[in-house]
Chain A
Amino acid sequence: MRPLVANPGGRLNVEDIIGREQEIRRYWKVLERQGLVLGAERRLGKTHIVWKMHAVGRQGFTTFYQDLEQVHGLTELVRALYRAVDRQLSGLAKAKRRAIDAWTTLVPKKLGDLELPDASQNWKFLLSEAVKDVLGAVDPEDKVVLIWDELPLMLYNLQKHEGPESPIQLMDLLRSLRQQHGERLRFLFTGSIGLHLVLKSLRAAGNANDSVNDMQHETVPPMSELESMELALRLLSGLESPPADAEQLARHIFQALGGFPYYIHHMVDRLGELGRPPTPADVTRVADQLVTADDDPAHLAYYYERIATYYGKEEKDLALLVLDVIAAQEGAVPMDSLINQVRLKQGGLRDEQVRELCLLLRRDHYLTLEKRDGTSLHDFRWHVVKRWWRENRL
């Protein structure tokens, strides 16, 4: 087991991306038949997962990776797509790309007295052509997977720069392209902002369609205990002063933080600053600092702030109530008990209101659902967020 050097926030070697094999297998299975929308909190490792998929690959697939937060216009998207596949393009297609590059960037838009057509008005055609060229550049036996990281951020950029119509029309076009090239074209969208939240705001602006209901939606789960322990062990063995009982400490780390890989890296990085072998007390102290420090180093207050930003007033009040109730309990809370406790604080609530709210909170990654002996139980998805909530809200 090769030791690892803690690297919170950084880029890992592909072979050092621990675990996630189960998730990756499932995602490839989905991509065999349809596109995939992958959601998760920031720093959970979803980009590393798609990088691993891209680097390792899979028989019958050709993948292209793009980070779309840089895209601020539709013609820019076209150019970015061509650049991502540039190596694969034939000579003819490359020439075409260069022409499109020129057309979409040159100013002014006149040649003598002749008005050149505005590229921005023809972006649909250009994007469709780009997709066709991408499909043409790849082995016809292969499915093409366009991994579009941070898609919701791009939609936000487009909305900000070009108005709500642009992202709405883009999503509609992408859906139409998926239908047109359904045999071979796949999209893998990832996002930190929930895509559903961005689409919700676009719907509010007038788009009634659900443009991604043909794609499978998955949420990147926490790492399993086994995977988290392996990560912690490899990081602890990379310390200058490793602990006496690494396995005990790795378990302690998992119990304190759950399977959130970024925080496991962060924890071991902090332990490395001690200059001596760390102990379970050190782990507790670092975990405590994450949730109680005045300056909120992990910005866990974001989970509270986000409710105010994205939820309507009534939803917000109920959401806070539900989260407060669950945070106050050790472990997961059965649904019936949750409804009763919430109703104690806010009378007149219907069961259905609480259930719907829990569904929303699960989609937004606040809560996770567990089934035990036929009973549904809810708990915070992230132990560290639950701790923050308990320390700072209650």
Chain B
Amino acid sequence: MTRGLVNSSRFSPGNLSGEVLEQLFVGRADLMKQLLKRIHLSATREEKHYLLLVGPRGMGKTHFVSLAYHKLKSDPAYAEARERLKIAYLKEEEWGVASFLDLLVRLLQALVAEYGNTKLATGIEQIYEDFKRSPATALHRAETLLIDYVGQDTLLLICENLEDLFEGLDDEGQKRWRAFIQEHPFWTILATTPALFAGIQLQSSPFYNFFTVKHLERIDFDTALELLHQKALLDGRKKLADFLLIPTGRARVRAIHHLAGGNHRVYVIMYDFLDAESLEGLVSPFMRMADDLIPYYQDRLRQLAPQQRKIVEFLCQEARPIAVKDIATRCLISPSVAAKQLSELSKIRFVVGNKVGRESHYELAEPLMRICVDIKDNRTEHLKVFVELLRHWYTRRKPRAKGAGARARHLYPSDPESALAEVEVLADTVGLGAALEALKRLLTNWSEQMDRDMLVDTLSRTLQLESQLRGAVAMARQVSKLRELLERHQQADLLPPVLTEALKAWLLGEELANAEWPLALPSLQQALGDQPGCHLPLILLSVAVRYKHTGDESILLELPLEQRTLLLEGMGASSEQGGEGADTE
């Protein structure tokens, strides 16, 4: 079977050459080694392994099995297995299998494509002839053909979308297949499926617990970075490859990471965006990607029972984990039915449960699905707001030049940087009120020449200093004056990044556990709640404060998954957090 040389086809890893597959394969070397070892054992010994890779669409399943195939065909480490394997690699979507006979014919055709055996090809034609007289005779011929062709070797069946295959086979076809495997133990199988399904999970199913299941987990930040780096090298984009290794580049990837949710394919799709001047343009490519994914999610929804679909659509709208009883109420079903349906949805990885005490709260397992549904329904605000937050979160602020602070002590500020330093010194020594006076002078004199990033950095630090030295309540009281001042000088759009920077700093320390913070929140809300771009940082701040004060994890569930992970990352609870100043643009 030959594969094309199309580089890095984002939807068809099956079209990539072995070398490209190898280069873009990241983070799963151990799993690959494990599975190939089992296939090797299956080829060289009597034992036989039946392997099933599970992962939602875009997790890299096709890439994985394509690479496994390539290694078995060419890697010297598997020469011994290669001698004894007959590989039948079924196409990614093997539509049209409606019986066990269909499966056998497609398998035989795959073997012909792989090995070019004309006798086998002739035998397949004879099956069609037999079928005209008797289906049972055709089935017997197909079975005999396969048994004779495999002989003393081991048949490796590689097939994707196993659930679809099982659906086509139905109960009778599955039983025939399983019995055939039991009676003719020359099979080893490497299959994939987006989610576990009844055909292999229920005790009443023929293939119950037949497969050794391996879940393809979402890739973490470092693996995603490695993937994109390798892709850049592969595409000959050395500048981009180098860019990805510096903090600014890493920051860009981090921003994508919060939306991609570890989905392999999303990173590859968003790869084109990495070149953009800044994070400004993140929304458009994301919306284009969503266009590609919408048909896939619609199809998945269609396969659900009506009550399940109702639940999933409700969770799409809610965007945060919801308790079972509330889901039941809003979906107009009884709690016991809701619990049962959620359990089923959990098994097929549509939803994921978060246990808080004795109660489970459910949310969509893939935030990407919710975002795609939002986009489809022209509800793009949530995405835009979150992207805006990511932009501020991961934008690196230029620090002031050294010594500017010292100069400011002795001179009336004669340059913007010194003026900024003056503001910060006053915030440190006197208070935010005095700092705002200096800021007024600064904006009056230097507003045109001011480096906005530096200004954001300074203002953020003044808020931090005020809350640290004089308390959160005092800081919150001054924020409305800050807003007035900035509005007067048409600089109110600085407030979102200022607040976000301050938020990041507050999250890292233990300051939010201070008793004043719950008292400060209403003032902050009053001062900034209606300022565009401040709403989401305020929500995150509120959740963080309440969480720090109560330790109640259910508070975190007020946030959708992508916001929750960002918050936890900010609090240093995620293993993917960078240090302060790292991974920002």
| A residues in contact (CB < 8 Å) with B | 5-14, 16, 42-43, 47, 65-70, 72, 76, 79, 83-84, 101, 104-107, 149-150, 153, 157, 192, 240, 262, 269, 272-273, 275, 294-299, 302, 306
- Whether the pair B183, A65 counts as a contact (CB closer than 8 A) is yes
With an 8 A cutoff between CB atoms, is B98 at the interface?
A: no
Q: Which residues of A contact B50 (CB under 8 A)?
A: 9-10
- Picked from B30, B34, B203, the residue with its CB within 8 Å of the CB of A299 is B203
| Chain A positions within 8 Å of B41 at CB level | 5
Chain A minimum-CB-distance residue to B217 = A273
Query: Please, how many angstroms separate the alpha-carbon atoms of A17 and B226 in the complex?
Result: 43
The listed residue (B37, B175, B202, B210) touching A302 by CB distance below 8 A is B202
- In the complex the two chains form, what is the Cα distance from A294 to B204 in whole Å? 19
Which residues does chain B contribute within 8 Å of A65, judged by CB atoms? 183
For residue B405, give the distance in angstroms from its CB to the closest CB of chain A. Answer: 49
* B178: Cβ under 8 A from any A Cβ: yes
Q: Does B529 contact A (CB under 8 A)?
A: no
Inter-chain contact B360/A8, CB cutoff 8 Å: no
A69 to B178 Cα, complex, angstroms? 8
Distance in angstroms between the alpha carbons of A296 and B48 in the assembled complex: 26
Which of B132-140, B234-242, B443-451 lines the interface with chain A? B132-140
Residue of A nearest to B348 (CB): A295
Check: B123 CB closer than 8 A to any chain A CB. Answer: no
**Can you spell out 30 A-B residue pairs with CB atoms less than 8 angstroms apart?**
A5-B41, A6-B212, A7-B49, A9-B209, A9-B211, A10-B212, A12-B47, A42-B203, A42-B208, A67-B183, A69-B176, A70-B175, A70-B180, A84-B183, A101-B137, A104-B136, A106-B134, A107-B133, A240-B34, A262-B209, A272-B34, A275-B30, A294-B343, A295-B343, A295-B346, A295-B349, A297-B196, A299-B201, A302-B202, A302-B203
Task: Report chain A residues within 8 Å CB of B2.
Answer: none
Residue of A nearest to B195 (CB): A295
Query: Taking the complex as formed, is B515 at the interface, i.e. its CB lies under 8 A from any CB of chain A?
Result: no
Q: Is the CB of B208 within 8 A of A294?
A: no
Quick check: is B148 within 8 A (CB to CB) of the other chain?
no
**B122 interfacial by beta-carbon distance below 8 Å:** no
> In the complex, what residues of B have CB within 8 A of residue A104's CB?
136
Q: How far, in Å, is B457 (CB) from chain A's closest CB?
A: 41
CA distance A150 to B210 in the complex (A): 15
Contact with A along B139-156 (1 / 0, CB 8 A): 010000000000000000
Q: Which of B163-211 contact A (CB under 8 A)?
A: 172, 175-176, 178-180, 182-183, 185, 196, 201-204, 206, 208-211
* Least distance between B357 CB and chain A CB atoms (Å): 14
Interface check B73, CB cutoff 8 A: no
A107-B133, A153-B175, A297-B201 given; A66·B210 CB < 8 A:
no
Q: Which residues of the partner chain A approach B176 to less than 8 Å between Cβ atoms?
A: 69-70
B205-231 at interface with A (beta carbon < 8 Å): 206, 208-212, 214
How many residues on B have C-beta within 8 angstroms of the other chain's C-beta atoms? 43
Please tell me if the beta carbons of B212 and A43 are within 8 angstroms of each other in the complex. Answer: no
Residue among B182, B208, B209 making CB contact with A47, cutoff 8 Å: B182
CA distance A294 to B361 in the complex (A): 12
Minimum C-beta distance from B543 to chain A (A): 25
User: Which of A7, A83, A105 lies in contact with B134, CB distance below 8 A?
Assistant: A105
Q: For B351, give the chain A residue with the smallest CB separation.
A: A294
Once A8-B212, A269-B212 are accepted as A-B contacts, the answer to whether A76 and B136 lie under 8 Å apart by CB is yes
Which B residues lie within 8 Å of A105 (CB)? 134, 136-137, 140
B209 touches A43 (CB 8 A): yes
* A9 near B212: Cβ-Cβ < 8 Å: yes
Q: Which residues in B have their C-beta under 8 angstroms from that of A68?
A: 179
Contact A10 B47 (CB under 8 A): yes
Total cross-chain contacts (CB, 8 A):
108
A327 to B305, CA, bound (A): 34
- Interface, chain B (partner A; CB < 8 A): 30, 34, 37-38, 41, 45-50, 133-134, 136-137, 140, 172, 175-176, 178-180, 182-183, 185, 196, 201-204, 206, 208-212, 214, 343, 346-347, 349, 353, 360
Which of A8, A11, A69, A157 lies in contact with B185, CB distance below 8 A? A11
- The answer on a CB contact under 8 Å between B37 and A69 is no
In the complex, are the beta carbons of B179 and A67 less than 8 A apart? yes
| Distance A72 CA – B37 CA, assembled complex (angstroms) | 37
Check A8 against B180 for contact (C-beta < 8 Å).
Answer: no
Establish whether residues B46 and A9, one from each chain, have CB atoms under 8 Å apart when the complex forms: no
Say yes or no: B47 contacts A8, CB within 8 Å.
no
Closest to B175 in A: A69
User: Shortest beta-carbon distance, B410 to chain A, in Å?
Assistant: 59
Separation of A101 and B134 alpha carbons in the complex (Å): 11
Given the contacts A9-B211, A105-B137, A107-B133, A16 and B360 also touching, CB distance less than 8 Å:
no
A42: chain B residues at CB < 8 Å are: 203, 208-209
User: Considering only CB atoms, which chain A residue lies closest to B200 in the complex?
Assistant: A9
Known: A295-B343, A295-B346, A302-B203. A7 touches B353 (CB 8 A): no
Instruction: Give min CB distance, A30 to chain B, whole Å.
Output: 23
Considering the complex, give the chain A residue whose CB is closest to the CB of B347: A295
- Those 5 A-B pairs whose CB atoms lie nearest each other, nearest first: A70-B179, A67-B179, A302-B203, A67-B182, A105-B136
A295 touches B183 (CB 8 A): no
Q: Which residues of B contact A11 (CB under 8 A)?
A: 46-48, 185
CA distance A255 to B347 in the complex (A): 27
In the complex, chain A residues whose CB is within 8 Å of the CB of B140: 79, 83, 101, 105
The chain A residue sitting closest to B45, CB to CB, is A13
Additional pairs, 14, CB under 8 Å, beyond known A9-B50, A10-B50: A5-B41, A6-B212, A11-B48, A106-B134, A192-B203, A269-B212, A294-B360, A296-B343, A296-B347, A297-B201, A299-B201, A299-B208, A302-B203, A302-B204
Shortest C-beta distance, A52 to chain B (Å), equals 12
Q: Which of B175, B209, B343 contacts A298 (CB 8 A)?
A: B209
**Whole-angstrom CA separation of A10 from B179 in the bound complex:** 14
Distance A269 CA – B343 CA, assembled complex (angstroms): 25
**B209 and A8 within 8 A (CB):** yes
Residue of B whose beta carbon sits closest to that of A306: B203
**Least Cβ distance of B255 to chain A in Å?**
29
Q: Which residues from A are CB-within-8-Å of B206? A: 69
How many angstroms from the CA of A153 to the CA of B175 in the assembled complex? 9
- Is A150 in contact with B48, judged by CB distance below 8 angstroms? no
Task: Verify B346–A294 contact, CB threshold 8 A.
Answer: yes
Contacts of B182 in A (CB 8 A): 47, 67, 149
* Most chain A CB inside 10 Å of its own CB: which residue of B45, B180, B204, B347: B204
User: Which chain A residues border B183 with CB–CB below 8 Å?
Assistant: 65-67, 84
| Inter-subunit contact A14/B37 (CB<8 Å) | no
Closest to B144 in A: A83
Q: How far is the CB of A286 from chain B (nearest CB, A)?
A: 14
Q: A107 vs B136: C-alpha distance in the bound complex, in angstroms?
A: 10
Min CB distance A244 to B, Å, is: 21
Report Cα–Cα, A288/B394, bound state, in Å: 39
Shortest Cβ distance from B176 into A: residue: A70
A157 to B170 Cα, complex, angstroms? 13
Task: For A262, give the chain B residue with the smallest CB separation.
Answer: B209
